[in-house]
Amino acid sequence: MDFTLSKEHTMAQQLFRDFARREAEPLAQEVDEMHRFPRETVDKMARSGMLGIPFSKEYGGQGCDTLAYVLAVEEFAKVCGTTSVILSAHTSLGAGAIDRFGTADQKKKYLTPLATGEKLGAFALTEPEAGTDAAGQQTKAVLDGDEWVINGSKIFITNAGEADIYVVFAMTDKAQGTRGISAFIVEKGTPGFEFGPTEKKMGIRGSATRELIFIDCRIPKENLLGREGKGFGVAMGTLDGGRIGIAAQALGLAEGALDKAVAYVKERKQFGRPIAKFQNTQFQLADMKTEIEAARWLVYKAACAKDAGQPYTVEAALAKLKAANVASDVTRRAVQLMGGYGYIQEYDVERMMRDAKITEIYEGTSEVQRMVISGALLK
């Protein structure tokens, strides 16, 4: 069992690290403070093929794998939580759904521009009344001739307004319950498809989080993604992959915070010596490091299972549950180790702590992950 990254994964990791440091890091504070979507970074990522990492070359992707994609999300998260979620929501959710469930024609038409980075993707499942209870979809889609007509709304959608292509879930047969949900591909600019105002959030503030509003929005019949009534499976299947991405984001946030804390404690002197010399500091750092490494291997393992074509639902849940916990814990400890400075925006860790919290909530709360894991144990 070889736990070292291959040469190509190592070089890719170095690429992501250099790119994130040079392009995303300098903007991170401003993006957070101004709640600004870092469009210029996203455009640069597109030009360097970073929006299509795991997708096949046939559809304009880079032909790499999930592990390479995970390394990318991780490296971005180390310096900017916002940029990493933009990448993750686009790749795992928006493009990921079409990659896994789309027809060849749909992939050619929609996956290709997503994979080349020409367009940005998003995924719209959550509704005001349907969060963890995702099956409680109220958005409706009715077939009218050659078109589906969508009515309803979605909230808390990442990349909303910035993305061009949306995978939207709606109830097509209420009587069937979970088996009455279907998935659709909707393009921005379609009449009847509007956006609500941008939410102001605790963290990942530069990520565009908005409501989607559908009022008699008509889309071609061909835009049904997967089979009618199979939408719930599309959602859950896609979210399994998304969870690996978020787990990578959480891992990166924790690592970024640890790096800041380590640099700080070596410099900061109190009582005549660097606080790194105090055992409490040392023990805190040891615990933080241990947690990060534990999370790391769950994340990489889930990615590798997906790449190997093995089942990865439980692996993804384990990874996300653990990494999100670790992110919240490690970032909070980093702030504490850095004391007053840790509370100041300029020192970054307070932002990482605010960014970390959402990893326990979106794409399946930690409670949902526990349901998945215990469900597998108690089968």
Partner 1 sequence: MNIVVCIKQVPDTNEVRIDPVRGTLIREGVPAIMNPDDKAGLEAALRLKDETGAKVSVISMGPMQADLVLREALAMGADEAYLVTDRAFGGADTWATSCTLAAAISKMDYDLVITGRQAIDGDTAQVGPEIAEHLQIPNISYAEEVRVEGGEVVVKRQYEDRYHTVRAKLPALITALSELNAPRYMTPGGIFDAFREKQVTVWTRADVPVDDGNIGLNGSPTRVFRSFPKTVKAPGMKIEEGVDESVQFVMDKLREKYIL
Closest approach of partner 1 to the CB of residue 18, in Å: 7
Cα–Cα distance between 379 and 360 in angstroms, integer?
25
Told to check if 248 binds partner 1 by CB under 8 A, we report no
Told to check if 102 binds partner 1 by CB under 8 A, we report no
Cα–Cα distance between 253 and 353 in angstroms, integer?
8
Closest approach of partner 1 to the CB of residue 113, in Å: 16
Closest Cα to residue 37, out of 124, 123, 120?
120
* Binding mask of the shown chain, residues 6 to 25, with x at each position contacting partner 1 by CB under 8 A: xxx--xx--x--xx------
Told to check if 304 binds partner 1 by CB under 8 A, we report no
Told to check if 46 binds partner 1 by CB under 8 A, we report no
Catalytic residue annotation: 363
Closest approach of partner 1 to the CB of residue 14, in Å: 9
Closer to partner 1 by CB, 23 or 348: give it.
23
Cα–Cα distance between 7 and 232 in angstroms, integer?
39
Told to check if 63 binds partner 1 by CB under 8 A, we report yes
Long-range contacts of 362-367 (CB under 8 A, 24+ apart): 362/156, 362/158, 362/246, 363/93, 363/239, 363/242, 363/243, 363/245, 363/246, 363/320, 364/132, 364/239, 364/243, 364/317, 364/320, 365/131, 365/132, 366/320, 366/321, 366/324, 366/325, 367/132
Distances (CA, A) of 376 to 1, 78, 302, 315: 25, 32, 15, 11
Told to check if 221 binds partner 1 by CB under 8 A, we report no
Reading the block at residue 122, the tokens are 């998003």
Closest approach of partner 1 to the CB of residue 48, in Å: 4
Cα–Cα distance between 147 and 222 in angstroms, integer?
8
Closer to partner 1 by CB, 49 or 237: give it.
49
Closest approach of partner 1 to the CB of residue 306, in Å: 17
| Number of shown-chain residues binding partner 1 (CB under 8 A) | 20
Told to check if 62 binds partner 1 by CB under 8 A, we report yes
Closer to partner 1 by CB, 28 or 64: give it.
64
Residues that bind partner 1 (CB under 8 A): 6-8, 11-12, 15, 18-19, 48-50, 52-53, 57, 61-64, 68, 72
